[in-house]
Structure 1
Amino acid sequence: MKKLVLGTIAAAMLATSGLAAEYTLKFSHVVSPNTPKGKAADFFEKRLEELSGGKIDVQVYPSSQLYKDNAVLKALRLNSVQMAAPSFSKFGKIVPNLAIFDLPFLFKDIDHLHRVQDGEVGQALKDKVTAKGIVALDFWDNGFKQLSSSTKALIEPKDAEGQKFRIMSSKVLEAQFHAVNANPQMMPFSEVYSGLQQGVIDGQENTISNIYTKKFHEVQTDLTISNHGYLGYLVVMSKRFWKSLPADLQANVKQAMKEATAKERQFAQELNDSQLEKIKEYAKNTGKLKIHTLTDEQREAWRTKVSKIYPEFYSDRTIGEDLIKKTIATK
């Protein structure tokens, strides 16, 4: 347990009850404890220790204290760490199908997204990850991505023509911007602010929380609430550790994860909502930023334009036709 006071109390309780933790579960993640992922990890710690009656001691290590996301999957395979929650992009080489979440305008809204993740498609994706030697437990939200620019407002697909947009490394995102005759530019996240500020790139796509915390809105003239793509995380566990647990403790892990997932989604929505309000306040107070929200008709125009890229990813070596079509059909 990372909190000394709580740890001392818990240790005292276990000592008086004659129990000691039989398993230690190290949960490594890369963000600060006050983020949705950080708060949900702490909730999971407390809940699993309660459900397991202290048999599992959960130790959460935030802010890359143990591993960065690009090293944690190897550490999970070695059972050097037992749990992590990397972003989908970190699974690109082992399960490219997770790039389904990059497909633009694939999800109608957050409820549709969660029905997909909690249903047949989500299970199929988790099974593919588990088949690679890492147990996939559940999907956690960062949020929907929005578009911004310092060249012109992005209301119709033609508004993106000729603009340079920063993307993370992704064939889907390259295709997305090519579909609207824009120029995708791969760039590390840490360089986006200076790239926007210096005009190396015209615009970017990110969740509201990423835009706000990195102050991208302060170096852009227009922000479009497009909800066109999605960023999220997959919570995964060491297969060796999972197999070492008896059935009752595996059930405890599943229950604690189910509750933590509901909390994390709530935390993520609250954070994106509150930070959008702060961006609106900035826009109102400075007059330097205009915020636009796509109407249903405008969203449909974008969807029609960019959905033509979907068949490019029908191969099972990329995303897979079956997964894409089942996502669209999910009610």
Structure 2
Amino acid sequence: MKMNWLLMTAGLAATAIAASIPALADDPILIKFAHVVAENTPKGLMAERFKELVAEKTGGDVVVQVFPNSQLFGDDKVLEAMLLGDVQLAAPTLSKFGRYTEVLELYDLPFLFEDLDAVERFQQSPLGQEMLHSVEGKGLIGLGYLHNGMKQLSASKPLRTPEDAAGLTFRIMSSEVLEAQFEALDAAPIKKSFSEVFMLLQTNAVDGQENTWSNIYSKKFYEVQPYITESNHGLLDYMVVTSAEFWNGLPDETREQVAEALDEALAYGNQIARDKAIEDKRKIAESGRTEIIELSDAERAQWVEAMKPVWQQFEGQIGRERIEAAYSANRP
């Protein structure tokens, strides 16, 4: 009698589980999009636009949750978390892919690109698009590039010539190229996460940092750095990335809808990056909290001369062909 009751109970449980499967199948696909910057930056605004577009294009079949300001993971951990399935989409800086591929180090080379127009020309070229696929052997898929902007130098003292940076400490992202860049100036680079930068500057734990106008403004770095040199010496861009397991596991139609939404969101974010560079520089200047130093052509040439050897230092792992193609993009 007892055995019959157990069998009946097991049968009812199996029926209940089977009945629940269709309902589970109808649940929306969840995409957790983690990033490290504020909501009002190009990346933050792009992520929110992507969320809206996905909802429109999939009719609610896919739901995007955006986690800004390192709420889930910092850029140093997010790719590992993605491979474990804890997050489905991220947009780390291109510097963060050093453990997965060397070719993307190209984007950290100092004074390689003159402006975002040159960056855009190279990234949309066959060679630039090919570089999106450089992480696929590690289980990741690059889906597109997102601009933040050209980087400026901020410091506790005026920086007009390379000699002015000698002996100072600068926070950098984890990147061998950026490390070499500051060592070329006889400065000391210190690798720290983006979420720590304000405190490091405020407490004088470091003397300076490099960043775009939008990050300097949104994170209030200008309030704790008395000088910003408009150097436009480097590029801060991101690669939107997902795991091959997640991406290839999506239904074909859903994948196409999400990819279309992302392409539109990236175009939106890239235009914002251009607009905010102008707008946020103006806001910083108007704040009166810091002095913006504009370099003369002769002064800028000194910085180029000091940092240019970094290109040759990393030519072997990046590839001369890629460096030459990227530099050629400065001439339309």
Equivalent residues in 2 for 1:58-73 (5 A)? Answer: 58-63=63-68, 64=70, 66-73=72-79
Range moving further from structure 2, 131-140 or 24-33: 24-33
Equivalent in 19, 34, 57 of residue 51 of structure 1: 57
CA distance in 2, matches of 1:210, 1:240: 32
CA distance in 2, matches of 1:66, 1:195: 22
Contact 2:172 2:192 in 1 (8 A): yes
CA distance in 1, matches of 2:227, 2:248: 51
Matched letter for residue 308 of structure 2: S
State whether structure 2 residue 173 is matched by structure 1 residue 168. yes
Kindly provide the CA deviation profile for residues 253-295 of structure 1, in whole angstroms up to 9, marking residues without a partner as x.
3322221111111222333332211211122xx6xx3212234
Task: Sort the Cα spacing of 1:145 and 1:21 in 2 relative to 1 into closer, same or farther, 3 A.
Answer: farther
- The SS at the match of 2:114 is coil
Match of 1:143 in 2: 149
Q: Percent identity over the alignment?
A: 42
Q: State TM-score, norm by structure 1.
A: 0.80
> What stretches of structure 1 of length at least 5 have no aligned partner?
1-19
Contact 2:170 2:188 in 1 (8 A): yes
Match of 1:13 in 2: none
The list of structure 1 runs, each at least 4 consecutive aligned residues, that deviate by more than 6 angstroms after superposition, is none
CA distance in 2, matches of 1:241, 1:131: 15
Contact 2:285 2:292 in 1 (8 A): yes
CA distance in 2, matches of 1:21, 1:295: 61
Matched letter for residue 218 of structure 1: E
Match of 1:84 in 2: 90
Question: Number of residue pairs matched?
Answer: 304
Match of 2:159 in 1: 154
Deviation, 1:21, is 6.2
Contact 1:40 1:261 in 2 (8 A): yes
Deviation, 1:322, is 2.6
Equivalent in 255, 259, 264 of residue 254 of structure 1: 259
Deviation, 1:135, is 1.4
Kindly provide the CA deviation profile for residues 93-139 of structure 1, in whole angstroms up to 9, marking residues without a partner as x.
11232222221111110111122222233222211112321111011
Kindly provide the CA deviation profile for residues 202-225 of structure 1, in whole angstroms up to 9, marking residues without a partner as x.
322112222223333233332111
Equivalent residues in 2 for 1:2-17 (5 A)? Answer: none
CA distance in 2, matches of 1:182, 1:65: 32
State whether structure 2 residue 214 is matched by structure 1 residue 209. yes
Contact 2:74 2:193 in 1 (8 A): no
CA distance in 2, matches of 1:45, 1:192: 28
Equivalent residues in 2 for 1:1-331 (5 A)? Answer: 24-30=29-35, 31-52=37-58, 54=59, 56-63=61-68, 64=70, 66-151=72-157, 153-283=158-288, 289-316=290-317, 319-330=318-329, 331=332
Deviation, 1:198, is 4.6
CA RMSD in angstroms comes to 2.7
Range moving further from structure 2, 249-258 or 101-110: 249-258
CA distance in 2, matches of 1:270, 1:102: 22
Contact 1:41 1:60 in 2 (8 A): no
Kindly provide the CA deviation profile for residues 160-218 of structure 1, in whole angstroms up to 9, marking residues without a partner as x.
23333232332212211222233333344444444444544332211222222333323
Contact 2:38 2:218 in 1 (8 A): no
Kindly provide the CA deviation profile for residues 288-312 of structure 1, in whole angstroms up to 9, marking residues without a partner as x.
x321223444333322321111111
CA distance in 1, matches of 2:57, 2:265: 13
Task: Sort the Cα spacing of 1:119 and 1:150 in 2 relative to 1 into closer, same or farther, 3 A.
Answer: same
Range moving further from structure 2, 256-265 or 235-244: 235-244
Range moving further from structure 2, 254-263 or 159-168: 159-168
Kindly provide the CA deviation profile for residues 24-69 of structure 1, in whole angstroms up to 9, marking residues without a partner as x.
14132134444322321222233234334x2741322323555444
Larger Rg: 2
Matched letter for residue 62 of structure 2: D
CA distance in 1, matches of 2:162, 2:237: 25
> What stretches of structure 2 of length at least 5 have no aligned partner?
1-24
Task: Sort the Cα spacing of 1:215 and 1:126 in 2 relative to 1 into closer, same or farther, 3 A.
Answer: same
Deviation, 1:246, is 4.7
- The SS at the match of 2:118 is helix
Contact 2:151 2:212 in 1 (8 A): yes
Kindly provide the CA deviation profile for residues 63-103 of structure 1, in whole angstroms up to 9, marking residues without a partner as x.
35554444432343344433222222332211232222221
